[in-house]
């Protein structure tokens, strides 16, 4: 059987030309479909094409529900081009148009497109071709599958996207669907060329590893008749050149092992808005923060490099964020609509406050004005030595740490030459990260040192 359709050329144009539909977006349309079909494992092959030199071959294989009654279901659903997809319960979903479009585009460009699916009872396989301005969906023998799921094979794709870059994107886009977020029983695995994707929460919320130097907050706002949840994180960091995490070895080491980030720091383009829907991200920051005071698009810069805000519609179907163009251009259009003004006003309020926090601890070039532990210790030693009339004594040493609510101290029996206890302070970065300067910290450590010296019975704490 062959089913013919004439695609909606305006949608095809959006897929081919839209700034919101990059190479990775096209591949992700297929993984979105697998996720919507309740897949728990998605295997992706992304390799150089043998048949089409200079192009790439993609295989997306999942263990989801499969197309219902695949012998007729595949062609029926794929030919329903331009309609709003629905699942078997009739719930609207915003994904699916891109899957059809991607298949048609590859066929239009002369590539091979196959879909093989099994619904647990029967299987079916089709070949999608492009002939005389018409897309043809043809039966292609028997299904190669014996178990429930779907396999899309597209060969002849024009793309320079590397497997490494693809894994970076997938590691964040599907974090909320992953086993890391949902647990072994409910989460999803994704493999690229046989290697597991290591999922990463771009807002650093996992319970065990979260560095407290990262300031988090959560709030809600009403807009367009719906409730939106905003989860913000502010990571005090100057971007590519200005490493504020330089003394926090645990944070730097973690970021180094996270491909989505930038070496031992944060990638500036990863800052901005993360729109969440159906347990996946439709946007990855893109250094887009909505508007500023004059309601023009807020300019990006090092002041904002550590700011990320997750946006989620908690009550509606979220289709305003789910159309074919997932780019920041669409959000720019949204923020011009009066009904969404409360949402973007709240985002602007959060970003403005975070930016002010950053400016308090940075100079005009984005370099941190925070003094390192040796300088802080030296200042305390000078203050204490001035009181005792005995300068240059090592009364204290200071260590900055990732976690904790307030400074702690210990004494190990070491004495200075003027017979005072040497004190070791551990200071959480989060304790000082919202102060105007380090003077408050120096004064507090000085007073605490004097208190320890006045109380002879204080031992290790």
Fold of 2-196: Heat Shock Protein 90 (3.30.565)
pLDDT at 2 > cutoff 80: no
pLDDT for the residue 336: 85
- Give the pLDDT score at 439: 81
Start-end of CATH 3.30.565.10 domains in the chain: 2-196
d(CA 414, CA 420): 8
Residues linked to residue 397 through DSSP beta bridges, in sequence order? 424
If pLDDT is split at 50, 70 and 90, which confidence band does 1 have? low
Q: Which two tokens stand for residue 268?
A: 């500036």
**pLDDT score of 404 more than 80:** no
Strands 272-277 and 189-192: what pairing?
unpaired
Nearest Cα to Cα of residue 351 among 398, 319, 308: 308
* pLDDT at 96 (0 to 100): 53
pLDDT at position 323 over 60: no
Q: Is the pLDDT of residue 371 over 80?
A: no
Cβ 156 vs Cβ 109: under 8 Å: yes
Q: What is the CA angle 373-403-251, rounded to 5?
A: 75
* Summary mean pLDDT of the chain: 81
Q: What is the structure's pLDDT at 207?
A: 53
DSSP label of 282: S
- Rounded-to-integer distance, Cα 379 and Cα 381, Å: 5
pLDDT per position as a tens digit, 211-244: 556 778 899 999 989 999 999 998 865 444 444 5
Please name the helix (run of DSSP H) or strand (run of DSSP E) that holds residue 5, with its range, or none.
strand 2-5
Query: Could you tell me the pTM of the whole model?
Result: 0.77
Range among 110-124, 412-426, 443-457 with highest mean pLDDT value: 110-124
Q: Are 271 and 285 in contact (CB under 8 A)?
A: yes
pLDDT at 211: 58
Q: What are 10-63's pLDDT values in tens digits?
A: 555 555 544 345 667 778 888 988 988 999 999 999 999 999 999 999 999 999
Q: Between 151 and 413, name the one with better pLDDT.
A: 151
Identify the pLDDT of residue 130. 86
> Where are the extended beta strands (E) located within 288-358?
307-313
pLDDT: is 157 or 368 the higher one? 157
Asked which of 216-225, 280-289, 359-368, 372-381 is least confident by mean pLDDT, the reply is: 359-368
pLDDT at position 168, please? 92
What does the block give as tokens for 264?
Answer: 């031992």
Segment 72-87 mean pLDDT: 66
pLDDT higher than 70, residue 414: yes
Residue 88 has pLDDT above 90, yes or no: no
In terms of pLDDT, which residue wins out, 120 or 264?
A: 120
């Amino acid at each position: 059987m062959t089913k013919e359709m004439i695609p909606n050329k305006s949608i095809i144009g959006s897929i081919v030309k839209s700034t919101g539909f990059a190479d990775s977006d096209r591949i992700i349309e297929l993984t979105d479909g697998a996720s919507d079909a309740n897949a728990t494992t998605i295997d992706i092959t992304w390799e150089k094409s043998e048949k089409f030199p200079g192009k790439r071959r993609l295989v997306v294989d999942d263990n989801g529900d499969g197309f219902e009654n695949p012998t007729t279901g595949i062609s029926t659903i794929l030919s329903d081009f331009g309609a709003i997809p629905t699942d078997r319960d009739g719930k609207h979903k915003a994904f699916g148009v891109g899957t059809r479009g991607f298949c048609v585009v590859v066929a239009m460009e002369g590539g091979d497109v196959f879909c093989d699916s099994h619904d647990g009872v029967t299987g079916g396989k089709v070949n999608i071709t492009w002939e005389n301005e018409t897309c043809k969906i043809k039966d292609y023998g028997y299904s190669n599958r014996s178990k429930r799921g779907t396999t899309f094979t597209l060969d002849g794709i024009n793309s320079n996207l590397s497997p490494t870059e693809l894994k970076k994107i997938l590691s964040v886009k599907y974090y909320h669907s992953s086993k890391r977020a949902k647990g072994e029983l409910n989460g999803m695995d994704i493999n690229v060329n046989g290697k597991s994707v290591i999922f990463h929460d771009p807002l650093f919320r996992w319970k065990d590893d979260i560095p407290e130097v990262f300031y988090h907050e959560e709030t809600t706002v009403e807009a367009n008749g719906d409730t939106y949840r905003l989860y913000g994180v502010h990571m005090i960091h100057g971007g590519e050149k200005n490493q504020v995490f330089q003394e926090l070895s645990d944070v730097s080491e973690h970021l180094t092992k996270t491909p989505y980030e930038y070496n031992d720091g944060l990638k500036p383009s990863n800052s901005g808005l993360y729109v969440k829907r159906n347990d996946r991200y439709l946007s990855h920051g893109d250094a887009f923060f909505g508007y500023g005071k004059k309601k023009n698009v807020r300019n990006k810069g090092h002041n904002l490099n550590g700011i990320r805000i997750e946006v989620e519609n908690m009550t509606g179907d979220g289709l305003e964020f789910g159309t074919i163009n997932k780019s920041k251009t669409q959000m720019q259009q949204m923020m011009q609509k009066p009904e969404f003004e409360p949402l973007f006003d709240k985002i602007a309020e959060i970003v403005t406050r975070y930016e002010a926090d950053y400016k308090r601890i940075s100079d005009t070039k984005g370099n941190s004005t925070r003094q390192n532990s040796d300088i802080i210790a030296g200042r305390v030693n000078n203050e204490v030595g001035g009181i005792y009339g005995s300068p240059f004594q090592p009364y204290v040493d200071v260590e900055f740490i990732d976690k904790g609510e307030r400074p702690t101290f210990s004494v190990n029996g070491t004495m200075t030459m003027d017979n005072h206890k040497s004190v070791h302070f551990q200071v959480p970065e989060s304790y000082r990260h919202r102060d105007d300067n380090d003077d408050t910290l120096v004064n507090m450590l000085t007073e605490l040192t004097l208190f320890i010296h006045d109380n002879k019975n204080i031992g290790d704490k």
